[in-house]
Amino acid sequence: MDIDSLFAELHNLPSVPKVAQDLIQQFDNPSSSLDGVARNIERDPVIAAKVLRLANSARFRGSRESASIEDAAMRLGFNTLRTLVLASAMTGAFKADPTFDLKGFWAGSFRVASVSRLLAKLSGKDPDTAFTCGMMHNIGELLIQTGAPEFAAKMNDRQNNASSRAAEENLQLGFGYPEVGAELARRWQLPKLIQTAIAYQGRPSQAPNDSEYARIVAQATIICDVIASHGGIGADVGQELSGPLFAGLDLDKLLADLPAVLEADKAFTELLG
């Protein structure tokens, strides 16, 4: 099987809703206003419901409930809205076999995205771009689940970290989820920078033009794997984050900021899936 054959098995390419596409473009437009964003959110009942739920969650709720999208948008702010819309668009575009833990998949993707955003802030890169790259980093896995279900079912029975799963996919299929995700990003006509970050996340030093975002996604994926293997963020986590990939990274600052970042994003993970 090659990647074109995999996509041929999908029949219909997953698509991001038009309203979500418009909103993402609005967020990238410096002249956009919260009022304009709120009006667009009202066009999509699924996104609108998630915005209201998040605005009234324990993290954001004030002295009264938000009953309108305009009020919820003001409470959440531009950056939080952008994060929620992107996450909602991505999670709504894909379906999976009932035996696949789709909610767990998106929760993991969101953690990588959140850590990618933090890493971007520490390295002087654009946090929103890094978040998008992190959110999409393993999107190819969902296409493998759909286009190669028998192989995927066998993989789902194993406990694999990101690198071992990609290696097994390459061995058995001739490609892994990074290549599939990059091809989807290409077909969706996403920026080349995002395509490159997804494709080269397993070998960032080989990325053309020294893509810093491929490096950020690679770092974030390993950090999340290490945290999961240790059951949380402890002193021993930092000891495993070594080698050339982490050269120049302020690990003390990273480990100090990580707990707050992961705790703050819990409200989002409850809305995924």
pLDDT tens per residue, range 188-238: 888 899 999 999 999 999 998 768 999 999 999 999 999 988 888 877 888
Instruction: Report the CATH number at residue 113.
Output: 1.10.3210.10
When pLDDT is averaged across residues 15-28 and rounded to a whole number, the result is 82
User: In this structure, what are the phi and psi dihedrals at residue 62, rounded to the nearest 5 degrees?
Assistant: -100, -145
- The predicted model gives 19-48 an average pLDDT of 87
Number of domains within the chain: 2
For the chain, how many residues are written? Answer: 273
Query: Looking at residues 81-101, what average pLDDT do you find?
Result: 82
Instruction: Indicate the residue type of 244.
Output: P
Which of 92, 123, 146 is the endpoint of a domain?
92
Which pLDDT band, with edges at 50, 70 and 90, does 159 fall under?
Answer: low
Whole-number pLDDT of residue 160: 67
pLDDT at site 5: 82
Whether the predicted pLDDT of 132 surpasses 70: yes
* Same domain, yes or no: 173 and 81: no
Same domain, 158 and 191: yes
Residues 209 and 255 placed together within one structural domain of the fold: yes
264 backbone dihedrals φ, ψ, rounded to 5°:
-65, -30
Residue recorded with tokens 């406990």: 159
Q: How far is CA 87 from CA 50, 52, 92, 273, in A?
A: 10, 15, 8, 10
To the nearest whole number, what is the mean pLDDT of the chain?
86
pLDDT at 273: 55
Give Rg (Cα) of the chain.
Answer: 19
Q: Are residues 81 and 129 in the same domain?
A: no
- Contact by Cβ (8 Å): 215, 226: no
* pTM metric for this prediction: 0.85
Domain span at residue 31 reads 17-92
Same domain, 123 and 176: yes
Q: Is the pLDDT of residue 130 over 60?
A: yes
Q: How far apart are CA 138 and CA 37, in angstroms?
A: 28
Cα-based distances in Å from 150 to 3, 8, 143, 203:
16, 16, 13, 28
pLDDT by residue (tens digit) across 64-82?
Answer: 888 899 999 999 888 888 8
What confidence tier does 153 reach under pLDDT thresholds 50, 70, 90?
confident
| Residue among 184, 19, 30, 139 nearest 89 (CA) | 19
